[in-house]
Amino acid sequence: MGRPLVLIGAGEMAQIAFEYFTCDSDYEVVAFSVEREYLRAPTLCGLPVLAYEDLERVHAPDRAEVFVAVPATGLNRLRTRLFQDARRRGYRCARYVSSRAFVWRNAEIGENCFVFEGNVIQPFVRIGDNCILWSGNHIGHRSVVGDNVFVASHAVVSGYCEIGAGSFVGVNATCNDRVRVAADNVIGAGALIVRDTEPGRVYVGSPARAVPGRSSFDVAF
């Protein structure tokens, strides 16, 4: 029997997390949990789906850990709200780092992070809490990824960069070394970030420019 784990969420990210935690971690997923208004089916992947509001009744915080398995919905705001709420209720939030990721010994990875296969995380990197790094990213030496960030796939974050809290980095995006991506940015697929960005904006192209009049909070995820 592995360490008991409840997955918060029942969508695609939760079902993917179920696969990875089950096949590549020492956790044992014991249930899914969603807010009551989103309860649809009583079971998922052969496990119960419980109302999040009274999760303590079945899985108390001293008996089970949770992982908030929600993608970039609402520019990461939904995952952030549930993560903060779970911690406030006394739950410890698990992290998953693929056995097929390369993580240097002194890299730091926060709580409720999910690091897929093929990520390369170099020396002295710091990754905050509640971040999702989908497959195949390069996070270069000394870079700092803030809390609540979602990095899609095959992004290159060069050395000494900062990725601001709450940001989304699209597939195949590239950051030149030492650039600072501000908080709450959306970096479009394939964008090349060559200079520091401004918070709350959407950047596309090579070299990347802010999309005029577009707020990152208006992007539908």
- Pick one of 16, 192, 210, 211: the residue that binds ligand COA (CB under 6 A): 211
Q: What share of the chain is helix, strand, coil (3-state, %, to 5)?
A: 15, 30, 50
| Window 122 to 161, contacts with ligand COA (CB under 6 A) | 152
| CB-nearer residue toward ligand COA: 159 or 190 | 190
Segment contacting ligand COA by CB under 6 A, of 36-44, 47-55, 138-146, 203-211? 203-211
| CB-nearer residue toward ligand COA: 58 or 211 | 211
Residue among 60, 79, 102, 64 at smallest CA distance from 14: 79
Residue 190 corresponds to which amino acid?
Answer: G
Segment contacting ligand COA by CB under 6 A, of 3-11, 86-94, 136-144, 204-212? 204-212
Give the H/E segment covering residue 7. Answer: strand 3-8
- The encoded tokens of residue 64 equal 């089970």
| CB-nearer residue toward ligand COA: 54 or 198 | 198
- Find out whether 90 and 66 touch, Cβ atoms under 8 Å: no
| Window 162 to 201, contacts with ligand COA (CB under 6 A) | 170-171, 186, 188-190
Helix/strand/coil for 20:
helix
- The encoded tokens of residue 32 equal 């899914």
Residues that bind ligand COA (rule: CB under 6 A) add up to a total of 13
* Residue 189, strand partner residues: none
| CB-nearer residue toward ligand COA: 77 or 92 | 77
**Is 9 known as a binding-site position?**
no
d(CA 108, CA 98): 15
Q: Where does this chain bind ligand COA (CB under 6 A)?
A: 152, 170-171, 186, 188-190, 202, 204-205, 211, 214, 219
